[in-house]
Amino acid sequence: MTAANSAMALSARGLVKRFKAGRNVVEVLKGVDFHARHGDVTMVMGPSGSGKSTLIAALSGLLKPDEGQVSAHGEDLWSRGAGRIDRFRLQHCGFIFQGFNLFPALTALQQVTTVLKYQGLSRPEARRIAVEALEEVGLGPRMNQRPSELSGGEKQRIAIARAIAKRPSLLFADEPTSALDGENGQVVIRLLRRAAVEHNAAVICVTHDPRLEAFADRIIHIEDGRILEPEPRDEAPAVPRDAVPGPTTPPGA
């Protein structure tokens, strides 16, 4: 790992989040500490209900914790007003979810350009960057297709193109392979790894799929709202950083 890649992208201390369930209060995060570095894929693993999705929401500015701090770009994220948090997400964060979150009426190209226009890019510039992002994930020939004409693997690759088109410094993926078969899941996680290696993003991926461990620089395990293994891996990722392939189109993708 180079010195440039080792810079801290995000850190959190003492995150606590509670939810009301009838008359009871359930503590979903219980004093969680966390950090992620530029150029790394950090995998957060744990069973359903362990607090993975709540953690990623707190780290990304989507859900305010009841206690604790999140530091990103030199500032305490949750000390900002709502408008500044929204701008932070727009400027610095990319999101990939298990349900794809695509607009049914828009083509693959329009899915990506719509996000870029919110950043103030002109129509020609947004189109140029969107085409580049779709080609990067291997969907250049499919950019004029709508979601109903695409497979699950292709839909998730559109979601990745939409996220990386902004060149975010923080890329959050919440169960990005859960709706995919093993082959398409491998393609998706390789693309996330490319975002870290080639774009120096800090990729934070929550999953319960153990097959993805080989692609991680760092693995932490969360259970019952607590981090069990917060330390970096002792060994290098099973998939070398310089062995990340270019765009591929798997059979049946």
Question: Residue 210 phi/psi, 5° resolution?
Answer: -65, -15
Domain membership flag for residue 150: yes
Domain extent at residue 224: 8-239
pTM beyond 0.95: no
* pLDDT score of 235: 53
- Read off the pLDDT of residues 39-78 as tens digits, 9 standing for 90 and up: 999 999 988 889 999 999 999 999 999 999 999 988 899 9
Residue 252 predicted with pLDDT over 70? no
Q: Domain with 228 in it: what CATH number?
A: 3.40.50.300
Domain membership of residue 252 (yes or no) is no
In this structure, is residue 131 part of a structural domain?
Answer: yes
Inside any domain, residue 24: yes
Structural domain count, the chain: 1
Give residue 95's pLDDT: 94
d(CA 96, CA 158): 10
Is the per-residue pLDDT at 150 higher than 50?
yes
pLDDT of the residue at 161? 94
| Residue 238 burial class via C-beta count within 10 angstroms: exposed 0-12, middle 13-18, buried 19 and up | exposed
- The predicted pLDDT at position 247 comes to 52
The answer to whether position 245 is within a domain reads no
How many whole angstroms separate alpha carbon 230 and alpha carbon 176? Answer: 22
What is the pLDDT, as a whole number, of residue 177? 87
In a domain, 130, yes or no: yes
| 250 in any annotated domain | no
Structure confidence at residue 253 (pLDDT): 45
Does residue 233 form part of some domain? Answer: yes
